[in-house]
């Protein structure tokens, strides 16, 4: 496992909601790094999908497939939400991953997210 420097950002409905830098670990198809709030992200990716799991004050387990609807689980403050995820874009290079997706519930869009992770 290689040590890498991570730059993470999350925009929700066009507004920056999270941005931090961290030291992380990289394996073939996997990144793991602290979330800056006593939790951790684990990101698994290959040519067709991205799975993101987060533990800490908010737990999440989301699966993304480009131009596809999938599902995910988000637990915060003791309440668990089962959400549908419509992934509109996954772009991955050797040192960058961008995922753009909509969270949906009961057939309607709740919010649009853009997550960017860069590492070196």
Pairing of strands 50-55, 40-45: antiparallel
Kindly report the pTM of this predicted structure: 0.90
In this structure, what token pair is assigned to residue 23? 């030291």
Looking from the CA of 53 toward its CB, the CA atoms found within 13 Å total: 7
**How many other C-beta atoms can be found within 10 angstroms of the C-beta atom of residue 70?**
16
CB-based contact 72:60 (threshold 8 Å): yes
Q: What is the CATH number of the domain that holds 96?
A: 2.40.128.20
Number of domains in the chain: 1
- Per residue in 8-21, pLDDT (tens digit) is 999 999 999 999 99
Domain that holds residue 98: 2-119
- Judged against a pLDDT cut of 80, whether residue 1 lies above it is answered with no
């Amino acid at each position: 496992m290689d040590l890498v420097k991570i730059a993470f950002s999350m925009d929700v409905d066009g507004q920056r909601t999270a941005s931090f830098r961290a030291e992380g670990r990289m394996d073939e198809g996997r990144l793991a790094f602290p979330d800056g709030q006593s939790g951790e992200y684990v990101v698994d990716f290959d040519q067709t999908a991205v799975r993101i799991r987060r533990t800490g004050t908010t737990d999440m387990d989301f699966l993304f497939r480009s131009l596809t609807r999938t599902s995910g689980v988000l637990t915060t403050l003791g309440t668990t939400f089962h959400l549908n995820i419509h992934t509109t874009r996954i772009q991955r290079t050797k040192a960058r991953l961008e995922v753009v997706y909509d969270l949906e519930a009961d057939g309607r869009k709740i919010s649009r997210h853009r997550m960017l992770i860069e590492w070196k």
